[in-house]
Amino acid sequence: MSVVSTPTTLKPADLAIDNQEVRRIRNDFPILSQQVNDRELVYLDSGATSQNPLSVIEAEQEFYEQRNAAVHRGAHTLAVAATDVYEDARETVARFVGAASNEIVWTANATEGLNLLTYSFSNASAGRGGEPARRFALNPGDEIVVTELEHHANLIPWQELAFRTGAVLRYIPVDDDGGLKMDEAASIINPATKIVSFTHASNVLGSITPVAELTELAHKHGALVVLDGCQSVPHMPVDVKVLDVDFLVFSGHKMLGPTGIGVLYGKAELLDSMPPFLTGGSMITKVTMDGAEYLPSPTRFEAGTQQVSQAAALAVAVNYLVETGMERVADWEAQLGQRLVSGLQQINGISVLGPPAGIERIGLAAFDVDGVHAHDVGQFLDDRGIAVRVGHHCAQPLHRRLGLTASTRASTYLYNTTDDVDFLLEAVAGVRPFFGVK
């Protein structure tokens, strides 16, 4: 099966995406043609889950129709074909982020990738993995650093690791606008720091973190850097070698792919030294009744039956993005994000979380409507066919720091037009009058 998928709308890479092209792109996404509450669907929740082009849907179906078999287990024709699809997909995703194929580990999602790291480090702290794994061991007094921006998936696993090992969890705070206090970061990241884990782009604020500066601070003290790329990899060019991070996680369902598959990137020398997280079949070289020996990465982290059809479909999604052009996608979404924030700032009673218009951001904005709960805002918008996210967006500490319990979040992707943004803005302007808030 080919894992190459070309959008039916492709334009030369040197031409910027515009509304006309986006309207053609939308034809590749069957779900976007439906109506919701008798209104044309305006999907502005891609930060939670993106939609799938038809080619991605067909790729998963085609695998089950033509190549369904266990990978890395059989010598028969179907097993070989399935294994080829599985490993070809790994190579496709590796190229997408500038990695080698043996540096890409399939996971169920980014959350599992982060838990894989924390449990592997926990195992190393308990003495598993021998001398090569000692670099990952944590002891009482060692420090783990995160930021106040983090999604719960990049906070709770580190809390649990600190609990299991006696390490201390510290965080870089944000200011009143949600910006990282980088002047404090230089002292928080210190010789006791063993791990620094942070988001590339905030799933609440849309802001982009200073990866280079944080990575330099961490590496100066010999700390490992873990980057949450869930809101960056789908929306902008990301090259792990340029960023020089040690680990990166992202999820397929946020980048036109299916649910049930995510990616952990790790530098090869690190992955090969880490003890496994899940254990069982497929990831071993030798098993006796007293113990086991494990394969190198990435196989040592892929115990049990793998996500083969999902990997095949994710590769097609990646090629869709590649053929569209990630620079073009990033530029278009940056325009949408600025239009979104600028428009929201002009509506009475609306407070935008994060940086104001004119400051770099992805195509995402969360906002508070004075006097109206976010869940009521979401219902009001849904009645008009607009899909947004409401709640704390799995970032309670950040909301608490900003004085909120919940917000409304609109997030764009390559299939959104400026008309989608304008329709949202018009609807949001009607929220407070509808609820009788003056």
Residue 222 burial class via C-beta count within 10 angstroms: exposed 0-12, middle 13-18, buried 19 and up: exposed
Three-state secondary structure along 76-121? Answer: CHHHHHHHHHHHHHHHHHHHHCCCCHHHEEEECCHHHHHHHHHHHH
Contact 284, 294 (CB under 8 A): yes
Distance between CA atoms of 318 and 154, rounded to whole angstroms?
24
For 90, list phi and psi in degrees, rounded to 5: -60, -45
Q: CA nearest 332: which of 229, 241, 413?
A: 413
Give CA torsion, residues 92, 97, 100, 101, to 10 deg.
-40
Residue 218 belongs to what H/E stretch?
helix 211-220
Distance between CA atoms of 261 and 282, rounded to whole angstroms?
18
Contact 225, 219 (CB under 8 A): yes
Residue 304 exposure: Cα atoms within 13 Å on the Cβ side: 8
Helix, strand, coil distribution of the chain in percent, nearest 5: 40, 15, 40
Active site residues: 394
Complete DSSP assignment for 259-327: SS-EEEEE-HHHHTTSPPSS-SSSSEEEE-SS-EEEPPTTGGG--SS--HHHHHHHHHHHHHHHHH-HH
Distance between CA atoms of 312 and 321, rounded to whole angstroms?
15
The token pair at 275 is 């003890």
Give the DSSP letter of residue 17. Answer: P
Peptide bond into 298 cis (omega under 30): yes
Pure H helices in 346-411? 374-382, 396-401
Contact 424, 44 (CB under 8 A): yes
